Amino acid sequence: MAVTPEQPWTPASWRTRPVAQHPDWPEAPLRAVVDELASIPPLVFAGEARTLTESLALASEGKAFVLQAGDCAEAFGAFSANGIRDKLKIILQMSVVLTYGAGVPTVKIGRIAGQFAKPRSSNTEVRDGVELPSFRGDMVNDIAFDAESRAPDPTRLLRGYHQSASTLNLLRALTKGGYADLAQAHAWNQDFVTASPEGRRYESLAAEIERALRFMTACGIDLNAEFQLHQVDCYTSHEALLLDYEEALTRQDSITGDWYDCSAHLLWIGDRTRQLDGAHVEFLAGVENPVGVKLGPTTEPDEVLALCKRLNPDARAGKLMLISRMGKDRVSELLPPLIDAVRESGHPVVWACDPMHGNTFTHSSGVKTRRFDDVMSELRGFFTACNNAGVWPGGVHVELTGENVTECLGGTDEVLGDHLEQRYETMCDPRLNARQSLDLAFQTAELLRR
């Protein structure tokens, strides 16, 4: 279809642009689902997205650090209260480590409550001579390799919406209802973590926090009155990939008249869908939510500047997060020109690092994995690039789970190649387990302190 940049933005204007990474939806069933989605309540509220923008503005000024973390892909079949609670636990633990270590607030954003759709490098998958559509995440089709399972099914969008609503409901209860109280910092440590070196390090940090809280009470400070100690904000995010879904959940804010994509607080554009004239950039250029963009090795400085102008024309701090994912070997070569270009333009952004997606490889056993050391190596490269350019390393974006899985190699309690199959449960990319995640948080806090 023709590219018509002069047309005004609407929630549907992405339809005039080339759309990458969409499944071949059956038209009539898709329309019925989208009509239903458009009539049911939003998942998040405009005011919450605005508060997140304010927090991200602090991260763009060096006064906060962003932790964006969660599954590569959430799964319909792995949906439980314990799973959600354990993911929140590890995010809370990492936040405490980062905040205590670095002395700045941690902005917590889950890859959660909507992260169901995946971009793929190939439209089809071939097994034993049989070619079927690729699996694109539970919100599109089923991972089983047969024609019926792989056919895109729009009713999965509705199921994704409802699972997101339940997930968000539990997250709100846990973060506001006492579970996230700083006095509970000990209780977030899981049994299988406590005995590990990272777990013990965390225990002693939690003990220091308890002592500090007791000290403040002894000084006569009424801690009950300090609500920040008793609850946290944990925001939701996902890749805005399926634009029919995102459009249906885009609503006009009754207070400001602005458009918000109410499927999550923050939406990001993947490395495969960040074309300037493409549908995904067009869609996210018009919503007021904070937006992330993944920047992979093919990104040019001019493209980044154009993305900044397009996605944040008024250059508002906190609106845009640029997420570098170059791979450990290339970050120090490829990232500095991008940082320099943005710094010289004066555009306010949060610079974050996804040290996962550029470091994936297939292990000899046939599964996709990542080395913990490679992840840390890219993070160090990111910090060095930011420090050299005099910009604040504003955040980290990681794939993790609160469980004791064996999907990434290494860490202090080393996961070895022949352990990978013990608990390899991810729906898509390999995730850090709880110990590896804590280890990453401690090492990142050290990098931040420097």
Residues contributing to the site for Co ion (CB under 5 A): 72, 429
Is residue 30 within 8 Å of residue 244, measured between CB atoms? yes
Residue closer to ligand PEP (CB basis): 294 or 328: 294
The entry of ligand PEP, Co ion, none near residue 271 (CB within 5 to 8 angstroms by kind) is: ligand PEP
Which residue's CB atom is positioned nearest to ligand PEP? 270
Residues in Cβ contact with 345 at an 8 Å cutoff, skipping those fewer than 6 apart? 305, 308
Q: Half-sphere exposure of 159 toward its Cβ, with a 13 Å CA cutoff?
A: 17
Q: Which is nearer to ligand PEP, 251 or 397 (CB)?
A: 397
User: Which one of Co ion, ligand PEP, none interacts with residue 270, CB within 5 to 8 A by kind?
Assistant: ligand PEP
Q: From the list ligand PEP, Co ion, none, which binds 119 (C-beta under 5 to 8 Å, kind-based)?
A: ligand PEP
Q: In whole angstroms, how far apart are CA 294 and each of 52, 223, 420? A: 19, 40, 28
CB of 96 to ligand PEP, least distance (A): 25
Binds 294: which of Co ion, ligand PEP, none (CB < 5-8 Å by kind): ligand PEP
Tell me whether residue 150 or residue 280 sits nearer to ligand PEP (CB atom): 280
Nearer residue to ligand PEP within complex by CB, 119 or 393: 119
Query: Which long-range contacts does 298-305 make (Cβ < 8 Å, 24+ apart)?
Result: 299/274, 299/334, 299/338, 301/337, 301/338, 301/340, 301/341, 302/341, 303/274, 303/276, 304/338, 304/341, 304/342, 305/341, 305/342, 305/345, 305/347
At its nearest, how many Å lie between Co ion and the CB of residue 370? 10
Determine the Cα–Cα distance for residues 55 and 435; give it in Å rounded to an integer.
28
What is the distance, to the nearest Å, from the Cα of residue 345 to the centroid of all Cα atoms in its chain?
26
Quote the least distance from Cβ 112 to Co ion, whole Å.
Answer: 14
**CB of residue 73 vs Co ion: minimum separation in angstroms?**
7
Where along the sequence are the contacts to ligand PEP (CB under 6 A)? 72, 119, 270-272, 294, 296, 325, 354, 357, 429
Q: Which residues, at least 6 apart from 124, have a Cβ–Cβ distance to it below 8 Å?
A: 131, 132, 133, 134
Ramachandran area for residue 318 (φ above 0: left; ψ -120 to 50: alpha; else beta): left
Using the minimum distance from each CB to ligand PEP, give the nearer residue, 150 or 397.
397
Question: Nearest approach, Cβ of 431 to ligand PEP (angstroms)?
Answer: 10
* Residue whose CB is less far from Co ion, 374 or 429: 429
Instruction: Report the nearest approach of Co ion to the CB of residue 37 (Å).
Output: 25
